Amino acid sequence: MTHISRRAILRGAGAMIALPFLEAMLPGRTIWTRTASAAMRSSLAAPPSRMMFVFLPNGVDPAAWPGSAVASLSNHAGKFSVMRNLCHRNAEALGDGPGDHARSAACFLTGAHPLKTSGGDISVGVSVDQVAAAQLAGTTRMESLELGGEPGMSAGSCDSGYSCAYSGNISWRGAHSPNAKEDDPRRVFERLFSRGPEGESASARESRLKMRTSILDAVRDQASALNANLGINDRRKLDEYLDGIRSIERRIERIERDDANGSGKTSASNSAMVTMPNEPADYRERITLLSDLAVAGLQMDQTRIVTLMLANEGSNRAYPDIGVADGHHDVSHHGNDESKVKKFAAINRWQGERLAHLLTKMQSAEENGQNVLDHTMVVYGGAIADGNRHNHDDLPVIFAGGSALGIQHAPERTFATGTPLCNLYLSMLAKMNVKADRFGDSSGSLALDSISQ
């Protein structure tokens, strides 16, 4: 069995695939017993700390929350906590009048109150993911990865005089500079697994991609040569890993075929919100693919920081696959209409199922004999609580993962009324070994290593 580096990469024709942890990466060239192998794994450097934020637009129905979200999380008991009484005061009007949707997205990861403007003078704060990314710069190929189920927006007025940049972004590298998110799984796939020569033109890239039917074509020779020098267990693991990459690629190809065949549908629109362009035929699959790609990026240590917006704040997309033909924003303002309340709760359940899939994928992604979830802190939530009222206290937040970082979970963790959500972020930065005395409007840290308050 040939010894290989833990940082080994398969390369070829613009492709680049990092390897999973293999027994051949253990020091020495000998046959290890299972016990010795496990002991050596534990003595190696542990996988790094990571964070991921999943944004929930339009709030929730408080009567159904958190049951609507956690109903599908039964397989992850002990791996997550519903966080109660966390708030974002800077998402409130503070004299600026209407515009809660824009403030919700803008404040979610910054903890800051956005300047009310629909012009080019947007201003909010640096988001927590980018505080971490700045201090961890150089440790991974990508400092952070920004994803979204809907296209990003950078101009125009989307919510009562607030710029669309606020509603369409949660990651801000500077007070005036949102990080553009990627909603196309193909482009995310190429960022993770394919890289042409520096300065490659768009036409050259297109020609290069047409030369192969799969990313695996480009690394097939290297993979075969490596396989010949691996033990049986490593061969099986490498084959499963590469099969997983090919599976993602095939699913992306299917979405692209559906889009090309014109099977996309247009979302319901609302005059107060921006009308979205035609959608992919299977929005559920798009979110699933983006989640799977996020996990792949973390597992390969291409990045340690990911944000995912399930949809833009104020989104009025319909959810026909669960029988909701009305727009999301419309049913969130249900006015206690029973039919709309049920549809709103159904959307919240759908969103909770997306979280369940993400956690399951992280749990099954192995690195160095451990899993990605145990080394990743996941925040799922938004900065609007009751979608009908637009309040910003007792926010719908689920905190998951991170057990290898010392984080303990309980079904619900209730904090003092009005506790800033930024207190959680400050604690997460500490777990990432990022130095910060405070963040946003934080008033202190949360004791994540203990379930006592």
DSSP 8-state secondary structure symbol assigned to residue 405:
G
Structural domains of the chain sorted by starting position, each given as residue range(s) with its CATH number in brackets: 9-26+45-431 (3.40.720)
Q: Per residue in 384-419, pLDDT tens?
A: 999 999 999 999 999 999 999 999 999 999 999 999
Alpha-carbon distance of 423 to 124, in angstroms, equals: 18
Of the candidates 118, 80, 58, the residue with the CA atom closest to the CA atom of residue 312:
58
pTM > 0.75: yes or no: yes
**Res 43 pLDDT > 70:** no
| Cα R_g (the chain), whole angstroms | 22
How does 294-305 read in b/e, with b if 16+ C-beta sit within 10 Å? bbbbbbbbbbbb
- pLDDT value for 18: 84
- The confidence band for 258, taking pLDDT boundaries of 50, 70 and 90, is confident
**Res 22 pLDDT > 70:** yes
DSSP 8-state secondary structure symbol assigned to residue 324:
B
Mean pLDDT of the chain: 88
Phi, psi of 28 (to 5 degrees): 85, 170
Alpha-carbon distance of 332 to 382, in angstroms, equals: 14
- In terms of pLDDT, which residue wins out, 25 or 344? 344
Strand partners, 10: 17
Q: Per residue in 260-283, pLDDT tens?
A: 676 544 343 333 444 343 444 589
- pLDDT value for 198: 65
DSSP H helix total and E strand total for the chain: 13, 15
